[in-house]
Every structure is written in C-alpha cells, then in structure tokens.
Amino acid sequence: MKQYKPTTQSRRHMTVVDYGTLTKGVKRLKSLTRGRSNRAGRNSQGRITMRHQGGGNKKIFREIDFVQKKFGVPGKVESIEYDPYRTAFIARISYKDGDRKYIIAPHGMKVDDVIIASETSEFISGNRTSLKRIPVGTFVHNVELSPGKGGQFARSAGSSVQVLANEDGYTHLKMASSEVRKVSWDCAATIGQVSNIEHNLVVGGKAGHSRWLGIRPTVRGKAMNPRDHPYGGGEGSTQRGTKRPKTKWGKITGGKKTRNKKKWSTKLIVKRRSK
C-alpha cells in the first residue's frame, strides 16, 4: 500500500494500492477496448433504478476473456495492466497462434510467465482446467457455474474459493462467505487467488475520492422528511421510530431472508453461510 504525508486533512489517512507490480510503459490494446456509455443508474426508460450513481472519471472498457477459449494453446504474459472497470488487475496474454486476449491476473503472475487452459495442465497459478482434476484444498478463482459459459464468481480483487471434495459429478466449493455449494465438476476454474489482494485496505480520505469513482452522496433516512423515509421527521437528532429496520420504500431489511425458497439452485447449497 502507498501512504501519503499528512499535508492536508484528506491526505492524513489516505491510502492507495501500490501499482509498482504493473508493467510500465505499456498502452492498452485497442483491438480489445471500446467505449461504454455511462447510464448513471438509469434503465432504458431513463428512470433511476440504482441510486447514488453518476459522474466519475471517463473510462475505457476492456474485453476480458472469462472462458479462455484457447483450449490447449499455451500463452505468454505480455503485461500486467490496470482495469478501471474492475478491482483486480488484468493480464495481456499472447497465445502461440498469434492471438491476444485479456484475462484476470492471478496473484503473483509476472511478465513472461506461460499459462495454458487444458485437461492436462499442471496445477500452478494461472493455469485453467476442469474442477474434477483439481486437488482437494486448492484455491481457485474465475469459476464457472455452467460448463463453457465462462467464469461467474470469485473474480474480484483478492477473492478465491477452496475445493473441498469431488463426488457424484459435483465439486464442493467453499466460498469466501463460508457457504459451501456444489458445482458440476465439468466446469472450469483457474488455479490461484485473484490479484490486487490489498484492495480492501484502500482508504479514500475524502468525499471527492468516491465522486471520482462515480458514487454520489447517500443521505441518511433520519435526516429526511416523514414523506420521504420511514425514519424521517422528529425534532433534531431522534431515534429511528420504527420497530424493524426498513428501506426507503418501507420494506423490512435487517435480518429478513431475501432468497427465494423455490430457487432451483437451493438444492446445490450444502451449507449456508455462517452469521
């Protein structure tokens, strides 16, 4: 982590990720980048469906290969780069057939490393293979939920899941939340932990840091009027005034289970996350 001298109050506790591990002097690959419009939390009708979004710095979207379709073709790491749309770092891979792709960079990956996605690959960080081949106790990331669909979870900075068992066509995976669930062992996963493991230690230091990220201010419910929030109204700083915690629209939130009891994937959950 990089810390600053306390030249101002906002700098006093501000910390950022040290980008010394990124490859210097490398520009983004234009063939794998494109612009992306900023909807600011609005749907196709222009209505706000996600509050507290808007503004922020302009960003260029990088197309990430979550499937790693170059099966059996070794690739060499050309560079480790920053991606403004995700917390993890990305790696530019140059495959033996001349093609180039961006993938999520595992922790410890360096330039000139060679990786491969195959059913005979070694169990080293960066290689990708099916779950049934991966030894019990191994930490993996970018895990598929359906074979060939591409990785859908364990993709953010520092995240990983642990292989616990292989039986009856399923692999038991322990999530970061302590939940244990079954996934088809024909699904693919990448060995290792996602890069940028210090991301959770970032301290913005000032409100402007959030505005750079496109996050707008959040007003407390108790500071609103009664018509705007269940917590609103009262003289000065007063209590919540309602027995159970609620959202702006009066829906119960604290302690209420939100998962659909009839959801098809419930049978795949071996152990729910601990409180």
**Which residue stretches of the chain have pLDDT < 70?**
none
What is the structure's pLDDT at 92?
94
Q: Report the alpha-carbon distance of residue 173 to residue 170 in Å, rounded.
A: 9
What is the structure's pLDDT at 70?
86
What is the structure's pLDDT at 83?
92
What is the structure's pLDDT at 217?
95
Domain boundaries, given as residue ranges, for the chain: 18-200
What is the structure's pLDDT at 43?
93
Domain over 18-200 is classified CATH 2.30.30.30: yes
Helices (runs of H) and strands (runs of E) counted in the chain: 1, 17
What is the structure's pLDDT at 144?
92
What is the structure's pLDDT at 106?
94
What is the structure's pLDDT at 255?
83
